[in-house]
Amino acid sequence: MAFRGPKVRLWRWRRNPLKRRSDTVEGWIVLGTWVLGVLAGVLAGWTAARGAEHAAALETLARTPTVAKVTERAPGSPAESGEDPGSTLRVWGKVRWSAPDGTARTGWARVWPGSAVGTEVAVWTDSHGRLVTGPATPAQARTRAVMAGGLVGLSTAAVPFATGHFLRARLERRRLDQWDAEWARFGPLWSRKTW
């Protein structure tokens, strides 16, 4: 079992005659990487989450619930939707609705299986009277905002961390090259025969 000494915190900033300049540079790179990564990630994530919340709010304002009527009998039978009143099984059916300018529009919307001609169906339309999906619920909007903020924040934070890793790898390569040069200079002196 190897002996390990006590863990020394902030060792890169302590005075030490064996400390190289590259150790100090590496310490600043690590500190800068963490500070920049965390700050950039949090700021970018927060901004993305706010943007997603704003987009969800605009989506809610831009969409209007409209009543449409089934124009052709929907495929399937009412029994396929299940006896459970909370069943969400829907099929595509042809519907007609009125646009904000009063013109009649037709299109395809999700309806209950076996819906008869004239059955009213709730649909969502945009400001031009085109069919659109319904706006996100508050829970869906919150989930989207959290996901967008998290992904953008992590992606943004990855840039400083990757840069810091690259810089530290370059420093390590430079230290190894210096070690090789010193070894090439002093190694032959130690390997001479003394007899």
Between CA 139 and CA 142 the distance in angstroms is: 5
Between CA 185 and CA 60 the distance in angstroms is: 74
Say what the pLDDT of residue 114 is: 84
More confident residue, 14 or 100: 100
Spell out where 10-119 has E strands. 64-70, 91-98, 104-111
CB-CB contact of 64 with 111 (8 Å):
no
- The 10 Å Cβ neighbour count of residue 150 is 14
Confidence of residue 12 (pLDDT cuts 50, 70, 90): low
Q: Which residues of 127-143 are buried (b: 16+ CB within 10 A; e: fewer)?
A: eebebeeebbeeeebee
Q: How far is CA 97 from the centre of its chain?
A: 38
Query: Quick one: average pLDDT of 135-149?
Result: 93
Both structure tokens of 176: 């190894």
Say what the pLDDT of residue 27 is: 85
> Is the model's pLDDT at 152 over the cut of 90?
yes
Three-class secondary structure assignment of 67-91: EEEECCCCCCCHHHHCCCCCCCCCE
| Residues 97-141 pLDDT 10s | 998 888 899 999 999 888 889 899 999 998 888 998 888 899 999
| Residues 38-82 pLDDT 10s | 999 999 999 999 999 999 999 888 898 999 999 888 887 766 555
Query: Quick one: average pLDDT of 178-186?
Result: 85
Query: Quick one: average pLDDT of 169-193?
Result: 83
Secondary structure (DSSP) of 129-160: S-EEPPPPPHHHHHHHHHHHHHHHHHHHHHHH
**Share above pLDDT 90 across residues of the chain, in percent, rounded to a whole number:** 41
CB-CB contact of 39 with 135 (8 Å):
no
Mean residue pLDDT of the chain comes to 85
